[in-house]
Amino acid sequence: MEKGSGVVLATERYGSAESWKYVAKDGVMERRRDGGEGESRANSIVGVFKSVFLPQGYPESVSNDYLQYQFWDTVQAFSSSLSGTLATQASLKGVGVGNQEATVAAATVTWLLRDGTGMLGRILFAWQKGTKLDSEAKKWRLFADVLNDIAMFMEILAPYFPAFFILIVCTAGIFKSIVGVAGGATRAALTVHQARRDNMADISAKDGSQETLVNLAGLLISLILIPLVTDNPVLTLSLFFLFTILHLFANYKAVRSVVMETFNEARLTIVLQQYLRDSRVLSPQEANQREPVFIEFSKSVPIKLGVRLQEVLQSKDELDLALKHNGMPYLLGVKHGCVCICLGPEAAVHDEIRAMCQAVWLSSKLTTQTSRDLSTQQKQSHWELVHESHKLMDTIFSPFLKGVEAAGWDVKRTLLDWDEWRVEWKTKSN
C-alpha cells in the first residue's frame, strides 16, 4: 500500500464490471474505484448502456454464447425491419392506398381475410408442432426466419397479380402467423438456455429493449428508403434481396453460435455415434457445431418416444420378446419402419437418455438395411437388434453417462421430444 493512501476497510464489486474499495484516511471513510480514479458506473456512458440493454449481472448472469448470439440477432432484426418496410409498402399499395378507385370496404375485407387466415394458421401450427419447438429450437428458429422472408416476398409481388392478390396475401398471412408462433416460442426456449440465475424475465425484457432500438434504427433508415423505392419495382426487389441475404446469413450465424448443454435427439445422436467410434465424448461446443440447423421433413428410420403400447407390440409373444434382456422401465420395438419406445411411469431422466441411446443405435442399424420386408423373419431380426441394444447399453451406458457429465453436459434434464403415454406392464419372461 502506498504511503498516505489510507487503510482499506472493505472492498466490493459489481459482477466483473467494477470493483471499489473503502479506505479509512484521517478518520474518514472514502469510496474509491479500484484500478484508478474514474467515473462511477451511473455516470459512465458504457455503464448506462449496459444497464439499459444487457441483463443485470452480465456476463456472469447469462450463458457464454449470449453476446455472439445477440449480435447476430440484432443484425437479422435490423435487416428484417427494412425488408418488412418494403413488404408493408407493397401491401398498402395492393389494398388500394393511393388509388382513387379503391374503396375502404374492399381494403378492410382484404385485411380481415388476411388476419383471419393468419389466426387459423397460428392455432393449427401450434397444435401440430408445439412440442417440437423446445426440442429443436435452433431448427425452428431458422425455419421461422426463412418463412418470414418468403412471406414478405409474396407481399411484395402481390400487387403485380391483382387477380390473385387476396389469395397471395392470405397465404403470406398464414406464413407470418407460423413465424409468430415458431419465432416467439423458440425465443423463449433460447432465453431459458441463456438464463443462468433464473433471470429469464430480465433477459427477455432486455432482448425486447434491444429489438426496439434496432427497429427504431430501421425506421429511420426506412424514412430514407421509402421515397426512393416508391414506384420503382426494380430497386424494391434489389434492396429486398440484399436485406434478405443479410437476414438469412445473420440468422444462420445466430443459431450456429448457440451452445446448448442439454441433449435433444440430434445432439445425443452426434455424441453417441462419436463415442461408439472412438470412445471420445464430444463437448457441448463440439456437438453443437455439428448439429444440423435445417428442418428435416423425413427420416429413413424415425424415432418415436413415449408411444402407446400397441405401437411397440401387439401380442403376448412380442411382449415377452420386448422384456427379454430388459430390466429397464421402458420397452423398445420396431414397427412400420420406426423405432418406438414405451416409457414406464417410474422412468427417470437417466432412463430416458439410455432409452434414446438405444433408439439411436437401432435407427442407425436399421438405416443400413435396404429391405423393408415385414415378413416374420424380418420381424425376428428386429427383435434380435433390440436385444443386442440392451446388451450394448449394459456395457457402455454407465461410462458414457459419466463421460458426458465430465464433458459439461447437463443430464439432469433433456430436450427429448417425449409424448405423454406411460405404460405399466406386469408380465415378464426370464
| Residue listed under C-alpha cell 400487387 | 159
Per-position b or e across 283-301, b if 16+ CB within 10 A of its CB: bbebbbeebebeeeeeeeb
Instruction: Determine the residue type at 61.
Output: S
Sheet containing 7-14, strands listed edge to edge, beginning at the edge strand earlier in sequence: 7-14, 18-25, 28-33
Cα–Cα distance, 270 to 266 (Å, whole number): 6
For residue 415, what are the contacts with CB-CB under 8 A and spacing of at least 6?
134, 135, 137, 260, 262, 263, 264
Give the pLDDT score at 34.
73
Phi/psi-derived region of residue 129, left when phi > 0, alpha when psi is between -120 and 50, beta in every other case: alpha
Cα–Cα distance, 76 to 250 (Å, whole number): 5
DSSP result, 14-79:
ETTTEEEEEEEETTEEEEEETTS----TTT-HHHHHHHHHS-TTTTTTB-TTHHHHHHHHHHHHHH
Give the pLDDT score at 289.
96
Task: pLDDT tens for the chain, 430 residues: list them.
Answer: 444 577 888 888 777 767 788 888 877 888 887 765 544 544 577 778 888 899 988 888 999 999 999 999 999 999 999 998 888 877 766 655 545 555 566 667 777 888 888 899 999 999 999 888 999 999 999 999 999 999 999 988 888 888 888 899 899 999 999 999 999 999 999 999 999 998 999 999 999 999 999 999 999 998 888 888 887 888 888 999 999 999 999 999 999 999 999 999 999 999 999 999 999 999 999 999 999 999 887 778 899 999 999 999 888 888 998 998 898 999 999 988 899 999 999 999 999 999 999 999 999 988 876 445 444 445 557 899 999 999 999 999 999 999 999 999 999 999 999 999 999 987 554 4
Cβ-contact 312, 342 below 8 angstroms: yes
Cβ-contact 189, 63 below 8 angstroms: no
- The domains found in the chain, sorted by start residue, are 7-53 (no CATH), 66-257 (1.20.1250), 265-406 (no CATH)
Select from 273, 269, 380 the least CA-distant residue to 324.
380
In this structure, the number of other CB atoms found within 10 A of the CB of residue 249 comes to 14
In this structure, the number of other CB atoms found within 10 A of the CB of residue 48 comes to 12
Cα–Cα distance, 120 to 175 (Å, whole number): 11
Grid coordinates standing for 332?
Answer: 423398445
Beta-bridge partners for 303: 339
Instruction: Determine the residue type at 112.
Output: L
> Exposed, middle or buried, 322 (CB in 10 Å: 0-12/13-18/19+)?
buried
Instruction: Determine the residue type at 367.
Output: T
Give the pLDDT score at 429.
46
For residue 414, what are the contacts with CB-CB under 8 A and spacing of at least 6?
262, 263, 264, 349, 352, 353, 356
Biggest CA–CA distance in the chain, Å, is 95
Predicted TM-score (pTM) of this structure: 0.85
Helix axes 137-157, 233-257, angle to 10 degrees: 180
> 33: part of which helix (H) or strand (E)?
strand 28-33
Phi/psi-derived region of residue 325, left when phi > 0, alpha when psi is between -120 and 50, beta in every other case: left
Give the pLDDT score at 26.
77
Cα–Cα distance, 301 to 289 (Å, whole number): 24
Cα–Cα distance, 155 to 99 (Å, whole number): 18
Give the pLDDT score at 38.
47
Cis, peptide link before residue 59, omega less than 30° from 0:
yes
